[in-house]
A and B are shown apart, each in its own frame.
Chain A
Amino acid sequence: MVHARVPGTKGLENYLAIFGSREKKLLQAEPSWLTHLRKTAIERFSNLGFPTAQNEYWKYTNVAPIAETRFDFVPNQTLPEISIQQLETFMFGHPEWPRLVFVNGKYLESLSSQTSQTDHLRISNLRSVLGSGSKVFESYLARIASFEENSFAALNTALMDDGAFIYIPEGKVLDKPIHLMFVSLTQNGALTSQPRTLIVAGKNSKVRVIESYASLCGGSYFTNAVTEVFVGENASVEHYKLQRESERAFHIGTTEAYQSTGSKLASFSIDLGGKLVRNNLTVGLHEEGSECELNGLYYVSGEEHVDNTTFIDHPKPCGVSRQLYKGLISGKGRAVFFGKVYVHKNAHHTDAAQTNKNLLLSEGATVDTRPQLEILNDDVKCTHGAAVGQLDEEMIFYLKTRGIGDREAERLLSYGFAREVIERVRIEAVRTELDRLLLARLQDCAYFAWRDRMKK
């Protein structure tokens, strides 16, 4: 039994107790390296506790509602009958795309399809490899996403029960994107799920993975997800995270990638839901000549809070990073962008560009943006910039002279603003789906009422 080393919160005590009750069972079923890992992680979690505003990286996002709530963790729960039709609204693309479906963190084989369990290609749930003795799995799990300073990653590592394991061997090009669907279904009481995803793309391989986080019937719950991505030498990975949790949900996501020589990563982080959302995205260009492109789009309305904290690490020469995050903030929504690019001393010929642009669409909307470059090498090309603005008056007038009224003008210009990110999506079906979802969400149009008040 582990005891809290920091001032206890309800949440902290709760998770330590949950770990305590699972420990014995897991010890029997799992290999010793994994048990050891879990123990280290829960120790770390109890030392770190939940982050507070004193922590520089959590200055703008208060996780007290998570820390002070006892979310139940019931990985092997009995679920009501769920049909594929019920999930249809979250599905897009082709039915032949490999699909893994998780409900409240539990893998549902009956709703999943086109999985693969061979050593040559693995598209499977995590649980199926936990006790399999897979060497690949063992050598990558928890080696990319560090939990040293990240208590949510520590918590996930200690408690993880299921998730996805994708292994693409050397030279394999997977033409169909893989869709991982993490669906929440609230029944009695608030639940937490701790989904864990590990993607290993071997040398010269190519893979595209979409993670969807969605809610079947609204309600309050807590998703604490961790995804690790290993991009092998000259491999190419496209990673899409489409977060549209319920308006009462808490979502903390940690995604970390390791990039090998000459590898390419394109990441898309799309947030269209959630009461309190935090994405920690860390990309390490750990070997020479690797390239990453990080794209983000968030629409924050009502009383939602969405925080994107990203870290791009350039420890080696000739790395290229491109980042474009765009946000629309409406209602009393609050958005946070904290993006750090760190260029080490010997990382010459680094080429890094970072941009964050925000549109404020109502009086109550707020945004905190902090792009940050730290460069310890002179021979680099680095730019960064941030903007917070409102709708363009010339564009508004042009639209109006065509008969377009306030509401449609706001929708159209917001959509146009977001399209710059959507256009970068390489999968047509994902683009189409994002267009549809965004237009459906652009509903509370309060911009012109605010604009009129400002003019007076």
Chain B
Amino acid sequence: MNLMLEIKNLHVSIEGKQILKGIDLKISAGEVHAIMGPNGSGKSTLTQVLAGNEKYEVTKGEVIYQGKNLLELSPEVRAREGVFLAFQYPVEIPGVSNAYFLKAALNEIRSAKGLEEMDAVEFLELLKEKMKLVEMDSSFTNRPVNEGFSGGEKKRNEILQMAVLEPTLGVLDETDSGLDIDALKIVAQGVNRLRRKDRSFLVVTHYQRLLNYIIPDFVHVLVGGRMVRSGGKDLAFQLEEKGYDWVKVEPEVSEEHVK
């Protein structure tokens, strides 16, 4: 299988505080990986670093995406190369309609790929089609980006954007948080329909619940900035049953060994 993403010994800090303390991860094309972990374990930090947030400082390690050094690329270039982050807290952009914003984004990505820009008519066709995927009604197109959206609407909007921009690597940060079960199903269904053998997903979640609907190929457990366990989808069930304390013990021990 083609290697999509390789994270090697990644160390990240913010404002002098070390958050990620040596992450290793390999994702091949077509795979869905889930990262689970308690609050404060560094899950969101990892997603933000993959998207290129400059607030986080990579102090060691590297990230190879499709053979390129991802950390050298600006956030917009990463997006044009096919990396997409569904935010845990999507940002509101007052005054800019969803349709205008998404058309601008799609056309920047198309231009970078040497494709012709889409005109308004073509784009609205496409948008309408994709909106069905996440069961959004047409009033969405003219509303300002995320402004006044409910938590569920914001999350659905992230998936809609992903559906329109068609990334190669979709990174989902706590996409299930704040969703009721119906919204969760819609979001999961949206993601599942985007699964392809040349597209990978990294799904970050606190709860196992989402993984009932988006079935991962691999599950990793992140605690205290380190991956403490990796396994198949069953690992998620074990975590749900036994709680994070079950896996928390080991890293402390191994740290002492190193010392």
Chain A contact residues, CB within 8 Å of chain B: 394-395, 397-406, 408, 412-413, 415-420, 423
Contacts and interface: CB of A to CB of B under 8 A. Distances in A.
A423 B53 CA distance: 32
A395 B91 CA distance: 6
B84 interface: yes
Given A403-B112, A408-B108, A420 B79 contact: no
Interface residues of B, number: 31
B85 A401 contact: yes
Contacts of A420: 94-95
Contacts of A419: 94-96, 144
B74 A400 contact: yes
A395 B79 CA distance: 15
Contact of B79 (A402, A406, A418): A402
Interface in B79-103: 79-80, 84-85, 87, 90-91, 93-96, 100-102
Contacts of B53: 397
Contacts of B74: 400
Given A400-B79, A402-B79, A403-B80, A395 B93 contact: yes
The 10 closest A-B pairs by CB, nearest first: A419-B95, A416-B95, A403-B79, A400-B75, A398-B91, A402-B105, A416-B96, A403-B109, A400-B76, A403-B108
Contact of A412 (B78, B80, B84, B104): B104
21 contacts: A394-B91, A397-B51, A397-B54, A398-B87, A398-B93, A399-B101, A399-B105, A400-B75, A400-B76, A401-B51, A401-B75, A401-B85, A402-B105, A403-B105, A404-B105, A404-B108, A408-B104, A412-B101, A415-B95, A418-B95, A420-B95
A403 B96 CA distance: 16
A450 B73 CA distance: 20
A404 B112 CA distance: 11
A418 to B, nearest CB: 7
B161 interface: yes
A405 B109 CA distance: 10
B144 A416 contact: yes
A416 B94 contact: yes
Contacts of B224: none
Nearest to A423: B95
B57 to A, nearest CB: 13
Contacts of B165: 402-403
B93 A399 contact: yes
A406 B75 CA distance: 11
A391 to B, nearest CB: 11
A424 to B, nearest CB: 12
B225 interface: no
Name the residue among B74, B80, B93, B102 with the largest chain A CB count within 10 angstroms. Answer: B93
Contacts of B109: 403
A397 B87 CA distance: 11
A419 B75 CA distance: 26
A404 B104 contact: yes
Interface in B24-46: none
Nearest to B79: A403
B152 interface: no
B51 A405 contact: no
Contacts of A413: 93, 96
A406 B74 CA distance: 11
Name the residue among B51, B78, B95 with the largest chain A CB count within 10 angstroms. Answer: B95
B216 interface: no
B2 to A, nearest CB: 23
Contacts of B101: 399, 402, 412
A401 B79 contact: yes
B148 to A, nearest CB: 13
B91 A405 contact: no
Name the residue among A394, A406, A415 with the largest chain B CB count within 10 angstroms. Answer: A394
B52 interface: yes
A146 to B, nearest CB: 37
B76 A403 contact: yes
Contacts of B54: 397
A394 B78 CA distance: 17
Given A404-B76, A404-B108, A416-B144, A398 B90 contact: yes
A135 B163 CA distance: 67
A72 B259 CA distance: 88
A440 to B, nearest CB: 15
B44 to A, nearest CB: 14
A217 to B, nearest CB: 32
Contacts of A401: 51-52, 75-76, 78-79, 84-85, 87
Nearest to A405: B76
A399 B78 CA distance: 12
A323 B95 CA distance: 19
Given A397-B75, A408-B108, A402 B161 contact: yes
Contacts of A404: 76, 79, 104-105, 108
Contacts of A394: 91
Contacts of B100: 412
Interface in B217-253: none
B257 to A, nearest CB: 38
A200 B96 CA distance: 37
Nearest to B87: A398
Nearest to A422: B95
Given A401-B76, A403-B165, 10 more contacts: A397-B52, A397-B91, A401-B85, A401-B87, A402-B101, A404-B104, A405-B76, A412-B100, A416-B94, A417-B95
Contacts of A415: 95-96
Contacts of A412: 93, 96, 100-101, 104
